[in-house]
Structure 1
């Protein structure tokens, strides 16, 4: 690991606030979500009842697991929209949780890497050759907030 990179994964570890499992509630369209993970998995479904099941899951891990169990109900365009939905959720997390936004800004200029051994899309994957899409989103959001703070 380089001093120019920050790896994160578990919400209770250093830089865990970057994880979607971190307890940072967001509100979207008048609905409250305990974590961005809850919100993200709910968006896989168009059925309001299935979305509600994700919303009331007791933990982000439960929401993740439940969305896997209900995979046959996932909307047909999910692969096409998942990145934009994640970007939206992450942006809302840092807009609505000012203390976390400040912590995110303090990570600059480090490269942010979701150190997931099993996710090669959102994270770095088991062989460190993943796409790290969550890290890229976080750095994009950080850059957007950095520009905003300079112009305030």
Structure 2
């Protein structure tokens, strides 16, 4: 009985994954976002579904703050220091961007996205792996928004 339920759940998950891939391939915005190294179907679909209307952000930099990937500010008088990331905004989008950045940093072969990877490795050398991945995730969010608004694709020279 339990094995039959597991088999049916896996069959339904495979059908949903196939439908997601079909929907993403039919979306022009998602196809362009998937040209960014590390960004796959799930990340592109999550980004498009969460942002919905890219014109509501005046600057692409605002998307990083919207996803909760910017540092919290602690200010009082002359004191002004940054803390951890704010974690405001959509948790799923933040998770997907983090996963895309981590895969770019750890899994993507040399060549494609090398400038982004080199930048993140330099950040990693100054701080920690997780902070470098968060910084790269924020950078990916900004780039993905700019690609969506401009109607362009990822170019290595612009990274």
Q: TM over 0.5, yes or no?
A: no
TM-score, normalized by length of structure 2? 0.26
TM-score, normalising length: structure 1: 0.26
With a CA cutoff of 8 Å and minimum separation of 6, indicate the structure with the bigger relative contact order.
2
Larger radius of gyration: 2
